[in-house]
Structure 1
């Protein structure tokens, strides 16, 4: 029987039962099912090997139930039936003994038959975007399962038997309704990547520390108030995402994660970080913004590989001097804190590319800031600064500079040496004049001088031939000089006036005729 073939799919050389299955599906869908090289997410087609039907792609065919003919093929290894209208699977589905992978994403499946756990060769199971609230109790019988995906649904619990899945490598349960995890999950000792993000978890079981092969753990967007001490046993962990929770503390054991590369703890309720954090010598990204930190441990200076440090929106009043030991640091975010000063040796951070210290209480900047020769983005807005370092012009690579909302009365002459500067914001200060050589900023594209005491501009201003955006709202210019009117690339000009200043409509119309939008 297995050697008989029909003419309809004769070019496929399939066994008779497999041909009959394809013909039944063809009649059901009204389309001949093409042979394809592989089954992808949006495939309508089949694959075969030798004379055997091995894969089916039934993407978006409006199926309300799986056709009974699918129980006939004896060698079917893969079924991708994404975005249909299936509400359950038939009991016979568990008889597809050769099945290794199925994907039913985007089906409103709300119930699974226990027989599904008879699929002893199954390696990949995907039920994303389903209506499943639970999984079969004997899920652990799927002894060869390597990947389990039940994301973007309403899953409320996991069976205790999940701990029997010794070959499970990936567990993806993102955006569900889980409130607890079974202690038995520690039995999945081959797990490498776990996603529990965007659930309703209030705690993690200590058993999670038994996942000795875990490399990536995402428990972000839950209701966790702490992490278990056993987390320090996950010595192969390279990424830990625990942001957007209710964490009030981090266990000291975190210092044991010796190869951790990325740690995300932003949007929690942390008031302190453990000194043991400094043992994370491989850490590259540390994100702890939007917490309640008043200080950071001195040991942070031991993180010799740290490239990104984000501490925005905390209550920091000082920084440990050891922070300047982070010689590989490229991005430092300290905005929206309560800092009154910065370490004098900040300039030792030679690789710093981006520095945000806006919205603090700084009254001065360390002179060593001038040594940050690789700095390209600097935001020091919304502080109490009355002057800038005289040698600010040493920051030769600076492209974006925001020093708005301070108490500056002038700009240092050296600012004209920032010849790569593209965006300069000096609004809301007390500046009455610009340096004579200001026009040497020939790469400048956007300039905001709003709300200053500026009464004139230097003749060199005409050299700003790349300027496209200029904000002069609430400055004290009596008129717009030719140096502004004739800027060749100016596209947007803001000129909201003081009551005592009058810029003629004729002048503004002349600018508009050059293709510039004027905001009055």
Structure 2
């Protein structure tokens, strides 16, 4: 981990030197000396990190180096901040001010001091006999393990019978007639038993009988085609000992496989170079139909490149199967029973997290231990604290880490700051990486895009996993992978109420970079956390990059928060905060200000536009907020502004959104205050390609004025027409719109990604746009539409026969539509209609007292549908041509 962060610091230092910041600040010599020493140390870090597992002195050396690296990072951050302020002020005189001279003197002194410390640390490396290696080859020392196809039948295998049966069936029965080679990837984290499963399949009698030739090759790090082809020839019974050239090897392999149905196992594949795989695949094309390849890998990216079938994801074993494995290793063939030890052993199983390697390793550790004290020691110890020479768990998993590019190592190790089983949204994790300088923008890519790519890469490598069925993309880390991250971080995350540190073993509070003011670090708290001593925190932790006070009871922030010059992220979401101090506007480096669910927040600081590096201002559900600070459009770095409140004053109009490259969610409130529809056009929503969710709200004073003011009605229609979004929009929510007709763009088939629409409180609306033409609309909710009579109708008078309506819709909710007669106008008027809603799974109708007919026909009659209808006497017919999953019919109260 020291190597990964040192690479980031070196990159930052190089950029500062190239920008001649050292010359401007008068510390050019100091910066170059730092760069030279850091580069020298970097050359031996890969070797040091590999050897630290066996050497406590090297571990201590790396800890000292890591601590110094963070100190250097803070100094560089202060230099970059000071220069940024000077450039922003655009004042040449300020370069020679007394304040500038004092800053130069202070920074110069600190750089000399830290360079002296670094030189002393660098001098120590010689006594460890560390080898200098090229940083471009970070994997040279990665441990490898060659595997074979032989399955020891005397060894028990538990919990993999169903996996093996499924794969054997695919190979022997399902792809038997395929003319092209079938490639089946098996994916799982290290130690999960991918190789064992492949051996189980490889040696199955049905497989042995089915294939003419069986070949096994352990690939590991080296995807050299010559080496692999030679290995295939030898495993297949041929001879390649006297062959040197690749062409000769390829010809022998071609002949060996020619017109034979073969099974090839490529075990432990790491290569994600498509060209290398395509070259090898061409050589394997000589086999006859039904030939298959099994690929075992930890990386989803490898499976995507090589696989022709959907990958087989290997899951963890049950606790019962893990215990059977561990018991076999711990007790062997002993007949004597140890009930007390077994009781402890079953508790130890929870540490295995379903990973067979862990169960076997822990069982082996306990093999000759027969006292409760010894077994309790293992139970109470974290896996990374157990003797490395006795437990191969972490070395096996660490191979995944050493295969990571340097740019990903720091991001992976950072995940150790979260407790086991913590869930965190993808967005929040990226924000945290940004705050600690783990990622930076590259070329045309925004820094958030880079973070998203890194997340995806860690997912591909099975180092992170998605949590299913969550509102936002949410991530979790396998327990043993979390152990790996913590072993790399080399310090446990304290679970104290006041602080949670990361990245360094802090010798003083001033070095702590991240503070959470919660008793537990949880994403969606269910209750408020106790109020903390915020002044104490702000006084003692001056190097904070992240201050997380979500869901605390604090009502105000002390003014000294403005002293946190390094702060990148301030999270006050769900707190009882009423106002923010003006000093917050001096947080020059602040990137994320999270005020979501601050329901008591009444105002934002007037000079918030001074936060020129602010990228994300999160204000969802801040219902007490009545106005926006003036000229928020000057925050040109903003990428998220989740709430904008329209005002008639200049500086608070919709034109403030014009130049902002906003994405994510955007709610625009009080659109009734827009006096000129041309102002709405200035929002430039059609150019905001990263905007995914748009919420538009009008709050007319009362229904009477809305229905009687013709001018207001026409203005609302023109305003909504001008707010046409980019085709990438996914969710549209309209509330309180006073017009009679929705704009044409709402039925535009170019909105190909629109999947959800919610329309409510639009009392003047007479007709819905042709929403049924939206190709991917899956969810539609209509609430409190006083005048709408039909969901589907053609205002031009033409029959709806050319386009199947609502072809992708799965959920339809209709609530309080007092004049709605039916879903389709033609159905009510003529008794028949074109097919619509072919994929509807859930229909919910409530308080629609004029409903006459609701008839649906489905293409898939086996798809389940939930139906709830709340009606009065006028309902004459409900027809659902499908197999209902749930049907509720309720007569409403008169």
Q: Label 1:326 to 1:519 Cα distance change in 2 as closer, same or farther (>3 A).
A: farther
Contact kept? 1:401, 1:424, Cα under 8 Å: yes
Distance 1:446 1:480 in 2: 15
| Structure 1 equivalent of residue 543 of structure 2 | 213
Distance 1:217 1:170 in 2: 18
**2:516 corresponds to 1:195:** yes
**2:556 corresponds to 1:226:** yes
Q: Within 5 A, what are the aligned runs for 1:217-256?
A: 217-256=547-586
Measure how far apart 1:252 and its partner are.
2.4
Measure how far apart 1:268 and its partner are.
5.7
Measure how far apart 1:431 and its partner are.
0.9
Aligned residues: 367
Measure how far apart 1:283 and its partner are.
2.5
User: 2:884 is matched with which residue: 509, 515, 519?
Assistant: 515
| Structure 2 equivalent of residue 274 of structure 1 | 605
Q: Within 5 A, what are the aligned runs for 1:149-188?
A: 149-151=494-496, 169=504, 188=509
| Structure 2 equivalent of residue 112 of structure 1 | none
Measure how far apart 1:420 and its partner are.
1.9
User: 2:805 is matched with which residue: 435, 440, 444?
Assistant: 440
User: 1:295 is matched with which residue: 614, 624, 627?
Assistant: 627
Contact kept? 1:399, 1:421, Cα under 8 Å: yes
Distance 2:812 2:503 in 1: 56
Q: Considering Cα pairs closer than 8 Å and 6+ residues apart, tell me whether 1 or 2 has the greater RCO.
A: 2
Distance 1:347 1:497 in 2: 43
Distance 1:235 1:366 in 2: 42
Distance 1:33 1:497 in 2: 66
**DSSP 3-state at the match of 2:547:** strand
Contact kept? 1:375, 1:397, Cα under 8 Å: yes
Measure how far apart 1:215 and its partner are.
1.0
| Structure 2 equivalent of residue 356 of structure 1 | 695
Q: Label 1:23 to 1:498 Cα distance change in 2 as closer, same or farther (>3 A).
A: closer
User: 2:788 is matched with which residue: 421, 431, 441?
Assistant: 431
| Structure 1 equivalent of residue 680 of structure 2 | 344
Please give the per-residue CA displacement for 1:321-377, whole angstroms capped at 9, x wherever unaligned: 244235321233538x65534551234362321012358449734322224332110
User: 2:595 is matched with which residue: 243, 265, 280?
Assistant: 265
Please give the per-residue CA displacement for 1:92-136, whole angstroms capped at 9, x wherever unaligned: xxxxxxxxxxxxxxxxxxxxxxxxxxxxxxxxxxxxxxxxxxxxx
Contact kept? 1:202, 1:223, Cα under 8 Å: no
Distance 1:392 1:466 in 2: 21
Distance 2:381 2:742 in 1: 58
**DSSP 3-state at the match of 2:585:** helix
Q: Within 5 A, what are the aligned runs for 1:366-385?
A: 366-381=720-735, 384-385=738-739
Unaligned segments of structure 1, at least 5 residues = 1-21, 50-81, 83-144, 159-164, 172-184
**DSSP 3-state at the match of 1:305:** coil
| Structure 2 equivalent of residue 455 of structure 1 | 821
User: 1:41 is matched with which residue: 368, 382, 394?
Assistant: 382
| Structure 1 equivalent of residue 663 of structure 2 | 330
Distance 2:859 2:372 in 1: 72
User: 1:478 is matched with which residue: 852, 859, 868?
Assistant: 852
| Structure 2 equivalent of residue 467 of structure 1 | 840
| Structure 2 equivalent of residue 500 of structure 1 | 874
TM-score (norm 2): 0.36
Measure how far apart 1:476 and its partner are.
3.3
Contact kept? 1:317, 1:340, Cα under 8 Å: no
Measure how far apart 1:228 and its partner are.
2.8
Distance 1:275 1:43 in 2: 50
| Structure 1 equivalent of residue 639 of structure 2 | 307
**DSSP 3-state at the match of 1:29:** helix
Measure how far apart 1:494 and its partner are.
2.8
Q: Label 1:519 to 1:484 Cα distance change in 2 as closer, same or farther (>3 A).
A: farther
Q: Label 1:517 to 1:31 Cα distance change in 2 as closer, same or farther (>3 A).
A: closer
Contact kept? 1:240, 1:262, Cα under 8 Å: yes
User: 1:418 is matched with which residue: 774, 777, 788?
Assistant: 774
Distance 1:209 1:322 in 2: 40
**DSSP 3-state at the match of 2:631:** helix
Measure how far apart 1:499 and its partner are.
1.7
Contact kept? 2:839, 2:859, Cα under 8 Å: no
Contact kept? 1:305, 1:326, Cα under 8 Å: no
Unaligned segments of structure 2, at least 5 residues = 1-365, 391-418, 420-489, 519-528, 701-705, 707-712, 795-799, 827-831, 890-894
Q: Which structure shows the bigger proportion of residues in helix conformation?
A: 2
Distance 2:755 2:616 in 1: 24
Distance 1:272 1:234 in 2: 22
Q: Label 1:220 to 1:451 Cα distance change in 2 as closer, same or farther (>3 A).
A: closer
**2:373 corresponds to 1:29:** yes
Measure how far apart 1:413 and its partner are.
4.3
Q: Label 1:499 to 1:376 Cα distance change in 2 as closer, same or farther (>3 A).
A: same
Contact kept? 2:838, 2:857, Cα under 8 Å: no
